[in-house]
Amino acid sequence: MSKIDKRYFLFGAQITTPFIAIWALLYYGFSVWLLASLVVFFLMRCVGSVITYHRVLGHRTHIMHPVVEAICTAFGFFGSLSSPIEFCASHTNHHKFVDTEKDPHPVKYLGWKVMFPIFWNESGPDGGDIRTVVRLRRNKIAYFFHRYHWMLLPLPLLLLLISVKVFMFFYLIPLALTLWSLSLSTLNHDKNGPKDMGTLYGILTAGEHKHVWHHTNPYDTSGEGWLDTVASLIAKRNTK
Ligand SMILES: [Zn+2]
């Protein structure tokens, strides 16, 4: 599959999943099942994407036990619908070329469009920093999810064998939340660079609110408030 396919695929998922999620909520009603959706959202977005993809695989802030890493990478994968290698390679370029035209998602140049990967610059979802690609291709877990991206993505559909309701509340609704949380997390920059965001933004993006600290200290989460606590509960701080 070419890179353009993945960008359009992500865009399609971003646009369609909220409508399906709203239909499910109206059809099945707002009930205690929503708690399951919020738990899965936390696992896919905070644990999978913010901590595992971004901090552990991307910035090597922590080291995970291989079993924990495999589970957490899976959360990141099924929540972002993206290869961990492509995610991190693109993100490395965000740090390297931050707020320039080479930044994959510069708010300064793209405005609100940064929320949609189809508008990202060349080093977007399938491009990125080659050293990061080489490093993560040596990581068997990350490479597995990269190599079998398209084969693995439909696996959550197996939940339909249990029931449509289970599929909706345990996957589709949390997926819609995760994809839009990811979109929202591109907005913690303005024309002056990275900026710190408030508590609500921190909750909605599952921990991407201390962005000035993050850009100043990308290899250290100790200044990132509650995110550092959660990360340190599931992984060991990398002191190398
Ligand atoms: Zn980063």
Looking at residues 110-131, what average pLDDT do you find? 78
Among the listed residues 84, 85, 121, the one whose alpha carbon sits nearest the alpha carbon of residue 103: 121
pLDDT of the residue at 41? 98
The separation between the first and the last C-alpha atoms of the chain, rounded to the nearest angstrom, is: 37
Report strand pairing: 193-194 vs 236-237. Answer: unpaired
Tokens of 116: 């949609």
Tokens of 202: 């921190």
pLDDT of the residue at 125? 46
Residue of higher predicted confidence among 193 and 42: 42
The answer to whether 41 and 109 have CB atoms below 8 angstroms apart is no
Tokens of 13: 């998922």
- The 3-state DSSP composition of the chain as helix, strand, coil percent (nearest 5) reads 70, 5, 30
pLDDT of the residue at 124? 45
Gap from CA of 35 to ligand 1 centroid (Å): 29
pLDDT for residue 31 is more than 90: no
Gap from CA of 232 to ligand 1 centroid (Å): 17
Q: Give the number of domains in the chain.
A: 1
Range of the domain at 199: 3-237
Gap from CA of 74 to ligand 1 centroid (Å): 19
The CA angle 180-202-155, to the nearest 5 degrees, is: 40
pTM greater than 0.95 (yes/no) = no
Gap from CA of 42 to ligand 1 centroid (Å): 19
pLDDT for residue 122 is more than 70: no
Residue of higher predicted confidence among 64 and 31: 64
Gap from CA of 135 to ligand 1 centroid (Å): 16
Q: Please name the helix (run of DSSP H) or strand (run of DSSP E) that holds residue 35, with its range, or none.
A: helix 33-41
pLDDT bucket at 5, cuts 50 / 70 / 90: low
Among the listed residues 61, 56, 115, 103, the one whose alpha carbon sits nearest the alpha carbon of residue 84: 56
Taking the C-alpha atoms of residue 152 and residue 83, their distance in angstroms, rounded to an integer, is 11
Q: Please name the helix (run of DSSP H) or strand (run of DSSP E) that holds residue 237, with its range, or none.
A: strand 236-237
Gap from CA of 221 to ligand 1 centroid (Å): 10
Amino acid in the structure at residue 72: C
pLDDT for residue 127 is more than 70: no
Half-sphere exposure of 54 (CA within 13 A, CB side): 27
Q: What's the pLDDT tens digit per position in 186-217?
A: 898 888 888 889 999 999 999 999 999 999 99
Helix (H, G, I), strand (E, B) or coil at 9: helix
Amino acid in the structure at residue 179: L
Gap from CA of 26 to ligand 1 centroid (Å): 37
Gap from CA of 155 to ligand 1 centroid (Å): 28
Share of the chain above pLDDT 70, in %: 95
The answer to whether 93 and 104 have CB atoms below 8 angstroms apart is yes
